Amino acid sequence: MTKDSQNTVPAVSKNEDRYYLFIVNPHAGRKHMKNLAEIIDQAFLKHDMPDSYGIVMTDRGGNAIELASAFADKYGERGIVVACGGDGTINEVAQALYGSKTALAALPIGTANDFVKTVYPGKTLEQILEGLFEPLIRRIDCFYVDDRICVNIMSLGFDTKVQKAAGKILSRHRWLGSASYPFAIVKSLFGTRDYDMHYKFTAIDDDGNETEVEASSKYILAAVCNARYYGGGYNPAPAASIEDGLLDLCLVDSLSLVKILGLIGKYKQGQHLGHPAIHYYRVRSGEAVAEGTSLLLGNIDGEQFEKDRLSFEIRPSALDFVFIK
């Protein structure tokens, strides 16, 4: 980083209407990482705004929360915090900005960048950066899993097993990036593939009618989705919206290995709805309890956990987010 790379909130000129803080995860590992500061510098010079931004790098887990909180306290609604990393970095910044008047944006330099696929579909890093100079700020939903905020997706089961395997592969072969996920899927198909859970939630149909759903089942995975993508581009919730006040819940029943292999491609493309093993609901809240001998194996925006039970609940219009034209 060439500007304000120290681990502090930079002082920026008070002559500009907007102030931008780019919080960079230096371990994100994308090709843009090496020249990210230069790309940002050139963009602000082009718009004659050389004193209206700062770039800081995180130095530990949770540091993005601290940096974004301090910036939001200082600049309020005039500030925009740009999370530069993957979904984990976005999650940390969202934790800090929840309840504030400072808006969140994101530049994709992480391994998978799944949340960005929903909010900036088909856009390159350079196109997103250019769009930030004419920000379209709207409120988006997020949700809580127990006491943790989630912006993208919380999932349980096999997909978290895949994520763990992908992490191990990436630790040895960083250059693979999101291509590590197909290898991780193959590796994870052997051994435990399904889990036991009791769940309860209220399903809401297109007319707003509510139905109580409660059952115990053996499942492969369950994804509670605010946005659409996770796991390097898999699309469990093709109709999900981050502005509708609802969560999309995708539950996949236990299946044989052959049937799993036949479903993976459809699941990635968002073409799995209607499959007899797929149960899809729109909900506002719910709870899950592990049954049998195993805990709930899951992740919140990529951060893994194991619990015996959990609850989740939507927070509609909870966070200012920067969309682009």
Entry pTM: 0.90
Residues 109 and 167 in one domain: no
Could you tell me the CATH number of the domain that includes residue 247?
Answer: 2.60.200.40
Q: Cβ atoms within 10 A of the Cβ of 120, count?
A: 21
Q: What is the mean pLDDT of residues 175-201?
A: 82
Which amino acid type is present at position 141?
A: D
pLDDT given at position 31: 56
d(CA 82, CA 67): 11
- Grouping H, G, I as helix, E, B as strand and the rest as coil, residue 183 is helix
Among 134, 168, 200, residue at a domain's last position: 134
Query: Which contiguous run of DSSP H or E holds residue 209?
Result: none
> Is 146 part of any domain?
no
Residues 222 and 306 in one domain: yes
Strands 103-108 and 79-85: parallel
**Does the pLDDT value for residue 45 go beyond 50?**
yes
Residues 182 and 309 in one domain: yes
> Model confidence over 63-122: pLDDT tens digits?
999 999 999 999 999 999 999 999 999 999 999 999 999 999 999 998 789 999 999 999
**Burial class of residue 172 (count of CB atoms within 10 Å of its CB; 0-12, 13-18, 19+):** exposed
Among 134, 165, 185, residue at a domain's last position: 134
Which of 81, 95, 91 lies closest to 113, judged by CA?
91
Residue 260's domain comprises 153-316
Which of 26, 52, 58 lies closest to 40, judged by CA?
52
> Model confidence over 310-319: pLDDT tens digits?
999 999 999 9
**Does the pLDDT value for residue 270 go beyond 70?**
yes
- Grouping H, G, I as helix, E, B as strand and the rest as coil, residue 150 is strand
